[in-house]
Chain A
Amino acid sequence: MTFDWTPVWLTLKLASLTTLLLLLLGTPLAWWLARTPCHCREWIGALVALPLVLPPTVLGFYLLLMLSPTGPIGAATAALGLGTLAFTFPGLVLGSVLYSMPFVVQSVRNAFEAMGTRPMEVAASLRASPLRSFFTVALPLARPGLLTGAVLGFAHTVGEFGVVLMIGGNIPGETKVLSVAIYDHVESLEWTQAHWLAGGMLVFSFLVVVAMYRLERHLWGQSRDA
């Protein structure tokens, strides 16, 4: 018996891509949530945080409906000639982004709120435009939050099961990620493979958390107010 690495690589690919997208989309969203005076922000914030409490299968169910050829997203992607996203890798990425969004947005938003308005005011008084201030002051100061968000988003995507099962199914090399593979192995009584994958996940997750704690402490230590 040879060990099948495909689900492992697929999972890492999914988690990396999801994390990247989450940082790109979640950071501006977190900035907006941290700074806007708009009353709608609690509603938007709640919407983003919803996956924290929603059963993954519920999220998956609605996503499936929307991705189906008659759903709004499915119809749009079909019209663009992309086909439908259900049971495809891009579909999984979309689901994962929504599912892990709160972890990234909350961490980054906390970091932005913790820095207060002063650094941006200082930057403006030193002639830096808002955009420049964001990139040269706000982002570097929010590094610990960005890191926590990225790690949490990544780890959470790796461990995702319900959403994947609903919208991705179980297609080897396309949507069969680690958690589904473990489930599969157990179902077919392949204990050895299940052990390897589960044990690997256990060690991996532990290392991730340890690394995050250490890095976080290091970064906060650096950015204590001067």
Chain B
Amino acid sequence: MTLEVELTLERPGGFRLDARFSAPGQGVTALFGDSGSGKTTVLRCVAGLERARGHCRIQGETWQDATGFLPSHRRPIGYVFQEASLFPHLSVRANLEFGWRLVEPDARRIAFDEAVELLGIRPLLARATARLSGGERQRVAIARALLTSPRLLLMDEPLSALDHASKEVIIRYLERMFDELGLPVLYVSHHPDEVARLADHMVLMEAGRVRASGEAADLMTRLDLPLSRFDSASAFLDGQVAGHDDTFHLTYIDTNGGRFTVPRQDLDIGKRARVQVHARDVSLSLTDHHDTSILNILPARVLDTRALDPARLIVRLGLEDGQNLLARITRRSGVALGLHEGMPLYAQVKSVALVG
């Protein structure tokens, strides 16, 4: 079960889309790229809102190929637009029921109340759409899309029109929703942090083409791709809550590559956790120091190095479990350590953020 997409399109003005990728039929796939890279166009074509040549096969069903084109309203999609785009002439409840009523009762895979609870919008149901905040609107729009029982959820930068606080709220809802529904999602974004928190898989778009596609955590640390060159370049590692230290108020997150220590979090032991490690917070050492204030020290191996500018290097490290870290160090340090591919060393991680 996969998403197979191959679309080409020319627009007057010189824009050319030539997007080919396949993605797993489960989990969240981020379509990532700068504005103008064609990611929204891909999403719109998958939804059937725009026509491109090529084919689009989703979960074994062909939505478009050389012989046919399924119109949008026949595709089992849910679409969340950048702006909530609620129908202003309908109440919140009527907005939610609009698509829900058009799905045969025995084809529904989500109950009305389930979607309402999942996005916490019960108190809003009787309201007019004009009296909702931006974040509330987007939650209603997401629930509205879910209520059509989609087999693929398409989201076009659903957080970009929101302020920081509402963004954080919605991300939490999204994380929970993705976890509970197990619905495949195509998620357009140009924020690395958002992608890292939400996505499992990533399709990196550049000037209308697919530059790379693969596991999000892998693509974010690949030195031949632009993400590792961002100032906020980070690695994301999956692990689980291993325990708490009540004396020093700490929580331990274990990955197979090593243990991370973060300030105490109210999480159940055994729960899945994802940590973010900024490249700028990682330093390298040849020996396993214990006379240091740094708590997170992991054995690693140098996989790749690249110059960021004449003064700095970015280093990709492999941990023992195959997950990756990025370290940004000065070129001088690199020479002093004698960095080379395959070299074993210790990554000292000054700070770690728990992101989900």
The residues of A with any CB-CB pair to B shorter than 8 Å are 118-119, 121-130, 132-133, 136-137, 140-141, 143, 222-226
Contact = CB atoms under 8 A, between A and B. Distances in A.
The A interface is mostly helix, strand or loop, or mixed, namely helix
B98 A128 contact: yes
Contact of B99 (A127, A129, A222, A226): A127
Given A224-B130, A226-B129, A226-B132, A126 B144 contact: yes
Interface string B34-77: 00000000000001110000000000000000000001110001
B103 interface: yes
Interface stretch (B11-19, B84-92, B258-266, B282-290): B84-92
B129 A127 contact: no
A143 B72 CA distance: 26
Contact of A223 (B72, B84, B88): B88
Contacts of A225: 88
Contact of B98 (A121, A126, A226): A126
Interface string B92-105: 00000011001100
Contacts of A130: 73
Nearest to B150: A125
B316 interface: no
Contact of A122 (B85, B128, B132): B85
Contacts of A136: 98
B92 to A, nearest CB: 9
Contact of B87 (A119, A125, A132): A119
Nearest to B76: A127
Contacts of A119: 85, 87
B85 A118 contact: yes
Closest CB pairs A-B (n = 7): A126-B99, A226-B129, A125-B79, A124-B72, A127-B102, A226-B88, A226-B86
A63 to B, nearest CB: 39
B173 interface: no
A37 B239 CA distance: 54
B71 A226 contact: no
Contacts of A222: 88-89
8 contacts: A122-B87, A123-B73, A126-B148, A130-B73, A136-B98, A141-B88, A141-B89, A226-B132
Given A118-B81, A119-B87, A125 B137 contact: no
A112 to B, nearest CB: 14
B72 A125 contact: yes
A122 B49 CA distance: 10
A126 B78 CA distance: 7
Interface in B232-288: none
A116 to B, nearest CB: 10
Nearest to A226: B129
Contact of B73 (A118, A128, A137): A128
Q: Which of B71, B86, B87, B137 has its CB near the most chain A CB atoms (within 10 A)? A: B87
B125 to A, nearest CB: 15
Contacts of A123: 73, 98
Interface string B113-135: 00000000000000011101000
A219 to B, nearest CB: 10
B86 to A, nearest CB: 4
B302 interface: no
A141 B148 CA distance: 22
Contacts of B199: none
B78 A226 contact: no
A124 B48 CA distance: 9
B150 to A, nearest CB: 9
A102 to B, nearest CB: 27
A141 to B, nearest CB: 6
B145 interface: yes
A224 B49 contact: no
Given A125-B79, A125-B145, 11 more contacts: A118-B81, A119-B85, A121-B79, A125-B77, A127-B99, A127-B148, A130-B73, A140-B89, A223-B88, A225-B88, A226-B87
Contacts of A133: 73
Contact of B49 (A121, A132, A140, A141): A121
Contacts of A125: 47, 49, 72-73, 77-79, 99, 145, 148
Nearest to B98: A126
Nearest to A133: B73
Contacts of A124: 48-49, 71-73
